[in-house]
Amino acid sequence: MHVFDIMMYIRQRKEVKTTEVSEDFPAQKENVKLENKLSSGCASRRFWKILSFTIGGTIALCIGLLTSVYLATLHENDLWFSNIKEVEREISFRTECGLYYSYYKQMLQAPTLMQGFRGLIYDNKTESMRTINLLQRMNIYQEVFLSILYRVLPIQKYLEPVYFYIYTLFGLQAIYVTALYITSWLLSGTWLSGMLAAFWYVTNRIDTTRVEFTIPLRENWALPFFAIQIAAITYFLRPNLHSLSERLTLLAIFISTFLFSLTWQFNQFMMLMQAVVLFILDSLDMLPAVKATWLYGIQITGLLLVCVLQFFNSMILGSLLISFNLSVLIARKLQKNLKTGSFFNRIGKLLLHLFVVFCLTLLLNSIIKKILNLKSDEHIFKFLKAKFGFGATRDFDANLYLCEEAFGLLPFNTFERLSDTLLFYAYIFVLSITVIAALVVAFQNLRMKYLWTSHMCVFASFGLCSPEIWELLLKLVHLYNPKRICIMRYSVPILILLYLCYKFWPGMMDELSELREFYDPDTVELMNWINSHTPRKAVFAGSMQLLAGVKLCTGRTLTNHPHYEDNSLRERTKAVYQIYAKRSPEDVHALLRSFGTDYIILEDSICYERRHHRGCRLRDLLDVANGHMMDGPGENDPDLKPADHPRFCEEIKRNLPPYVAHFTRVFQNKAFHVYKLTRSK
């Protein structure tokens, strides 16, 4: 649910009102003559409509497929993926990407499907000294589904498992772009708008997708289904839909919502934003109450079905989305006459409605979390609290997120890139006009509203091709004319498309011709050594990112991993990361052995980190969490104290007796140092 859905509904309401006025017009004879004239051109209009639909649909499919091929080619050219060794291919799946892909590999290597399922449900290699249900903990049904498909389809002789996997992801990108194209087309009424949206998506690739270098990420699975959901909702909000069309559209919304929820653990936060916008529009009488209720119900039903498939995952049951949607439906039952009465009476009812929904949401959510003893998502709320300035935090997990670039403020060069393609200017232009139009409609309904959307490409392209936008703008400058509207809504997008082709086509051709090769000999050497020199049941400790690769490439057991949505795992990760803190060798050894650790992998890139500024380096986060002063020049909080011990990852390399008594170095290269832990007597 986004702001362009609002514009669709505003436009359709306007059309309905116009139709009602014409029906009441007394000159029936004139209407009969007009109908006769219209019927004469009906056949030709139907022909042009079919032709336009065919051309637009063909272009949508072609652009989607070309985008998929373009991204796949960039991936191949960047890594020379087809020529590198299997271990190098697996190492290229960095951080949690490697963890997710390892379960696809695990399912394929299982003797039977049932043994593969059992291995996922009773897994004791992802977290040492624990047996966890991976289907409950993680969103990996897509890996399970792909592994079944690969086993069943007769393609093993022609296509390697890794290619079947990555081609599926690139194929989903084709669906993603096509769905954006269709959404823009539905909103504007012309496929030219969809074409512009797709072009903007591709030319702003750095800021719209990262699929070519983080293929297995959950967002790359989920966002195509989210785009389909948005397109279906856009169509659903049209008035006067036939009963069959409405049912099929609701089915499409449900399926896409379900698949979006099933493939990404953060779906609930995106859909919560969607539900809040839906609630505001519903409260301001901008949406039919029946349609809003259907959308609330679909969100709840989709999440609950995913909850069942994930063996009643408590994080889903305790989500704010379910609490919010239930609160909205309950509050609506309590306040049936919300949209009646005088101006001030309705304002008062609206404020009371907002207060009731807000209080009910917090009450329901706290009750559910207390009953389930849920702490899986508390790190997210700590992060949000610190992110939006509600006090500083020393919480290790929250700071780990705060210091990641992906969760930081948008850098200014992002706006420069978006401006180069004219997308940012078009977005601001359309957004300004849309906000004004929405405020006018809200005032007419004795309401007010604030709008925002995340789909810049669709929103900007729809606005530039929208007759309503141009009509409003031309009326403001007293140049309104139906012919001028037609000229502007087609000429401006065409000029922008020509500009994009002129400016970015040569660069895209250069990208496709630029050939590079994957090169990470230190990690390859490490993985080969682990495979050949350690027992298959050995337990490894280290950074979350590296251990995901260790599991994929070697199948060894891990102490911790990058899937961070579990409170006990976060505590374990903080304990393992003491190898980069100022702790004694005895303390570190005791902590690691409590998790059954046999080997630790120390990374110089973390121990001597320079990528982040002081205060955001991993060693700084650990020092602050432990109450120790940070290294290097700069201020420290007054209550932080000097540590009693030197930094473990530095001191262990000096081979001093206290360290040698507990740790023996068994491997080292330019990037990694592996130590074997001595067994406690």
Domain with 617 in it: 521-677
pLDDT tens digits, 564-592: 778 889 999 999 999 999 999 999 999 99
Maximum Cα–Cα distance across the chain: 106
**Whole-number pLDDT of residue 455:** 66
Q: How far is CA 226 from the centre of its chain?
A: 9
State the CB neighbour count (10 A cutoff) for residue 49. 10
Q: What one-character-per-residue DSSP string does 71-132 give?
A: HHHHHHHHHTTTTS-HHHHHHTS-THHHHHHHHHHHHHHSSSHHHHHHHHHTB-SSSTT--B
Average pLDDT (449-477) is 73
Task: Give phi and psi for 674, each to the nearest 5.
Answer: -110, 130
Q: How far is CA 61 from the centre of its chain?
A: 24
Domain tally for the chain? 1
Of the pLDDT bands very low, low, confident and very high (cuts 50, 70, 90), residue 444 is very low
Task: Give phi and psi for 602, each to the nearest 5.
Answer: -100, 135
Does 190 reside within a domain?
no
Does 298 reside within a domain?
no
The CA distance from 361 to 325, in Å, is 8
Of the pLDDT bands very low, low, confident and very high (cuts 50, 70, 90), residue 485 is confident
CATH of the domain at 627: 3.40.50
Does 650 reside within a domain?
yes
State the CB neighbour count (10 A cutoff) for residue 366. 12
Q: How far is CA 225 from the centre of its chain?
A: 11
Does 113 reside within a domain?
no
Share of the chain above pLDDT 90, in %: 57
pLDDT tens digits, 310-339: 999 888 999 999 999 999 999 888 876 666
pTM: predicted TM-score of the whole model, two decimal places: 0.86
pLDDT tens digits, 114-167: 999 999 999 999 999 999 999 999 999 999 999 999 999 999 999 999 999 999
Q: Kindly tell me the burial class for residue 474, based on how many C-beta atoms sit within 10 Å of its own C-beta (0-12, 13-18, 19 or more).
A: middle
- Angle, nearest 10°, between helix axes 243-263 and 218-236? 160
Three-class SS string for 590-618? HHHHCCCCCEEEEEHHHHCCCCCCCCCCH
The CA distance from 282 to 290, in Å, is 10
Vertex 347 angle, CA 341 and 349, to 5°: 70
**3 state DSSP class of 482:** helix
Cα dihedral 218/224/227/233 (nearest 10): -100
Does 638 reside within a domain?
yes
Of the pLDDT bands very low, low, confident and very high (cuts 50, 70, 90), residue 372 is confident
CA atoms within 13 A on the CB side of 438: 24
The pair of structure tokens assigned to 392 is: 């500083």
The CA distance from 574 to 564, in Å, is 11
The CA distance from 466 to 489, in Å, is 6
**3 state DSSP class of 153:** coil
pLDDT tens digits, 600-643: 999 999 999 888 888 889 999 999 999 999 988 888 888 899 99
Does 584 reside within a domain?
yes
Does 554 reside within a domain?
yes
Does 624 reside within a domain?
yes
**Whole-number pLDDT of residue 671:** 95
